[in-house]
Homo-oligomer: A and B are copies of this chain.
């Protein structure tokens, strides 16, 4: 057991130096999606390797067919110490439209956003360079104070997260022995608000499908054939309309297999967050939850499955009017999954549901657009409970367990390729404007985040 108090003191005493290091990294224009910045991406990877080596990691730049990975390892205090893999990404989003930035996106600085609220400016300050450096600084402080880390630590920094991670799966597959740890820590999530830390314990899964309904063998004139010929838009509308009942439930047989009710105490803790229908939907101009009746917006988006229609097209869609009966019509449909819903079974049940509604003289084709199960951390997992306590200690406020309606692919990849669960902790705020002009990261997130990671590493070794 390494004493934590001096580590926290060290972090506070050296805050300016950690900021300077972050600025150095932020100045590197590591935009992964634009080939013009390939050398900058490599430069960011090399900068990280040098920095990690400087605090005793065995670190290297690892080539891929795209931008390189950074992999680093540091031994634990004893051979039986826990082993964690920390993941982050050093690449950033493009900065256009540049004229909307109040400050140079690649010349970071501290700025007072409102009285008493200081933020770090610049592209990547929140997503994800600021977040990943918190962990590096926590490790640096341990080394400075104790000469060792409280557990065995591996690090994986990716350079293609903002451009679809094409190299990630092959890399995990090829290096699974080296990267496998007891569990992963993933840092690109956020706090609930500026003073409330959060751990994300659930990510919804996804099934994507495209259906194309075919009717006549050519477009028809609606005067000549209207009333006699099947209209694929009408068939498609019926299929989609049938997919929800009046209470907002999805009607596909077996759809709710594997869906569990959220524990009462979890629902209560979500209630205590103060998010209301008005606050959640008001911002986008809506006011009535569209999902299953009687459930809060947080439960609906975090813990309930959905069927959504993401796109539809058929017939004449230009200006004016054309009295045509189309030969075909198509829709893109996706399902957000929770708990133990099986993507393959959902896809099969959906296809059966659709086929049952296609007239005998028409046909339907299906195109698969991906599928992944939900991620759900058990609420009684020991490392979740310990991390939650560490965050509560740091922020002097209970850390909340939240969920996310979307997915973070790396979490599924760690599960699938390395058999590892992930702890999702981050200190971004909802107004960080990631992917947009004027991205920022609160100084309070930076200071508290460093300290939080130090505490979490400490808590895991108790």
Contacts and interface: CB of A to CB of B under 8 A. Distances in A.
A222 B315 contact: no
A289 B240 CA distance: 22
A355 to B, nearest CB: 16
Most buried by B among A227, A244, A315: A227
Contact of A321 (B210, B289, B292): B210
A284 B220 contact: yes
A221 interface: yes
A361 B287 contact: yes
A148 B246 CA distance: 74
A113 interface: no
Interface string A283-325: 0111111111000010011001110111111111100111111
B321 A281 contact: no
A429 to B, nearest CB: 15
Nearest to A367: B321
A308 B324 CA distance: 9
Interface stretch (A39-47, A186-194, A327-335, A436-444): A327-335
Interface stretch (A9-17, A136-144, A399-407): A399-407
Interface residues of A, number: 80
Contact of A290 (B227, B236, B287): B227
Interface stretch (A117-125, A167-175, A211-219, A380-388): A211-219
Interface string A403-427: 0111100000000000000000000
A324 B311 contact: yes
Interface in A360-414: 360-362, 369-370, 404-407
Interface of A: 204, 206, 208, 210, 215-218, 220-231, 233-234, 236-238, 240-242, 244, 277, 280-281, 284-292, 297, 300-301, 304-306, 308-317, 320-326, 329-332, 334, 336, 359-362, 369-370, 404-407
